Amino acid sequence: MTIATTEPLIDYHGWRRWVRDRPISAAVLIGIVATQMATLVGYFMNVVGLPQLNWPRVNGGLVLPDGSPGAQWAAGAFVHHIDGVVFTIIFVALLWHRMPGGATSRGNLIKGLIHGTMLGLTSIAFLTPYAYFPKVGIDIFSFGIPFPLEQTTGVVYDGLNWKLPLAIMVWHWVYGLFVGLMFDPAEAE
């Protein structure tokens, strides 16, 4: 049985109006989706030769260092997604209007990718060396320097050199891609 319809499967204009009318609610939903999509990509980066980025596990090691692996992952996933929501709200409430790119779908995509790039560079420069792996001695200048990473998470990354910073940037570009694609408010009527 075939059902013929002329209705689009997705009401994109309705979505854009909803985003325009409820930007903070949209930011919360978009933050969850963008963070989850980037997290899924992070789990499978090893398929293309980059290190797996299991941010829920890494965050869990920080918030529950003595917890079971399951409890660490659950707590880390919660904290990780809250981070994604908070950074999306910051993007929507404070940065979106000030960024180059215009209020078009293409401009919003550019804004999302700029946001993701800035977060990625922040992660490489500060979070990874000082919060996630402080005992390893890596920093933003660690490109090209092989190093093993093993902390409370038990995850061992050996000989990453340039691959870890690249993986972090790819992760944040995926996040920014979804933020930019989804935060696309309609123009005022």
DSSP 62-89: HH-TTS-HHHHHHHHHHHHHHHHHHHHH
DSSP 163-174: HHHHHHHHHHHH
Comparing CA positions, the residue from 120, 115, 123 lying closest to residue 139 is 123
Q: What is the mean pLDDT of the chain?
A: 84
pLDDT tens readout for residues 67-85: 999 999 999 999 999 999 9
Q: Are 76 and 19 in contact (CB under 8 A)?
A: no
Q: How far apart are CA 159 and CA 173, in angstroms?
A: 23
Give percent of the chain above pLDDT 70. Answer: 78
Whole-model pTM: value is 0.84
